[in-house]
Amino acid sequence: MSRPRIGITGVTRAREGGEITGVNANYVCAVIAAGGLPVILTPELDQASAVELFGECDALLLTGGEDVDPARYGAAPLPELGTVSAARDANELALFAEARVRDLPILGICRGIQVVNVACGGTLFQYLPTQRPGTTNHDPGGSRQQHSHDVMLEPESRLARIHGATTLQANSYHHQGIDQLGGGLLATAHAPDGLIEGVEAADSAEWLIAVQWHPEELCGNIDAEHLKLFAALVATARRAR
C-alpha cells in the first residue's frame, strides 16, 4: 500500500538578496519517520493552487512560523507583533477549511495551533510577556532541541491516549498564545502557568489536534516520545484513504 501523503505548509524567507521557500526539514523527517510521504505546500501558491495540490493529500500539517495577522481575529496590531504574511494566512485558512470538508486528519504545531484557533473564531495574545505575564518562560532561548517545561494533558484527551501519559516534557519558543478559545475546540493541554498548550476538536469523530510546542524538533534520538504524535497522524491518514 502506498504511503499516505501529508500536506505540510511551508514558509518563504528572505535570504542572500533573494527569497527561498520550503519547510523546516525536521517536519519532513518526522513525517517520513512516521511512515508518511511529505508534500510541501508553499505559500507562493495562490489559494486555488494550494487547495488543488492539497487534493492529492490525505492529511494536513500546519507548521510554525510568522504571527497570524491580528486583523484575522478583529484586533489591532501591538508594537511587539512579529512578521506576518497575508498570503500564508489566506492559504492556511483555506487549507484548514478544505481539510475539514474532506474530513481529513489535521495536526497544528506552534503557529499551527494559532491558525486553528483563529479559524474557529478564537483570539490570540500577540505578545505574552505584556498581555499575559506568568511564571512560565515560553521563549527561553537556547537550543530548540531541549525541554523547557512540562505540559499537562487532560486525562481523557486524544493527546493523553496517544502519549499514554498526562504529563509531557516539551520545548518552548513562542511569544504568542491562545486567548479566547475558538468554537468547537477543547483545551486539552496546559503549561504550568495555565496557558493553553494543546487543543482538540470537541467532536470526538474529528481528528484535529494542535499543540503549542515543537514535537518535530524532539523526535528521533532526542526524545522519541514526540514521534508518537506524527505516527498517530499518519496512521489516521492511512485508515482514511
- Helix ranges (DSSP H) in 69-174: 86-101, 111-119, 128-131, 158-163
Q: What pLDDT, on the 0 to 100 scale, is given for residue 148?
A: 80
Q: Cell for 62?
A: 500546519
Give 109's strand partners. Answer: 211
Q: What pLDDT, on the 0 to 100 scale, is given for residue 1?
A: 64
Q: Mind listing the pLDDT tens digit of every residue in the chain (241 residues)?
A: 689 999 999 999 888 888 999 999 999 999 999 999 999 999 999 999 999 999 999 999 999 999 999 999 999 999 999 999 999 999 999 999 999 999 999 999 999 999 999 999 999 999 899 999 888 878 777 677 778 889 999 999 999 999 999 999 998 888 999 999 999 999 999 999 999 999 999 999 999 999 999 999 998 766 789 999 999 999 999 997 7
d(CA 29, CA 42): 17
Contact call for residues 195 and 136 (beta carbons, < 8 A): yes
Tell me, what DSSP letter sits at residue 217?
A: G
List active site positions: 110, 214, 216
Tell me, what DSSP letter sits at residue 7?
A: E
Q: What pLDDT, on the 0 to 100 scale, is given for residue 89?
A: 97
Q: What pLDDT, on the 0 to 100 scale, is given for residue 149?
A: 84
Strand boundaries in the chain, DSSP class E? 5-9, 11-15, 18-22, 37-41, 59-62, 106-109, 124-125, 149-153, 167-170, 177-178, 185-190, 196-201, 208-211
Angle CA(65)–CA(66)–CA(70) in degrees, nearest 5?
A: 140
Q: What pLDDT, on the 0 to 100 scale, is given for residue 14?
A: 84
CA distances in angstroms from 64 to 109, 112, 184, 235, listed in the order given: 6, 6, 22, 22
pTM over 0.85: yes
What residue ranges define each of the domains in the chain, with the CATH number in brackets?
5-240 (3.40.50.880)
d(CA 32, CA 3): 9
For 107, residues 6+ apart whose C-beta sits below 8 A from its C-beta are 59, 60, 61, 62, 209, 210, 229, 230, 233
* 15: number of Cβ within 10 Å: 8
Kind and range of the H or E element at 31? helix 25-33
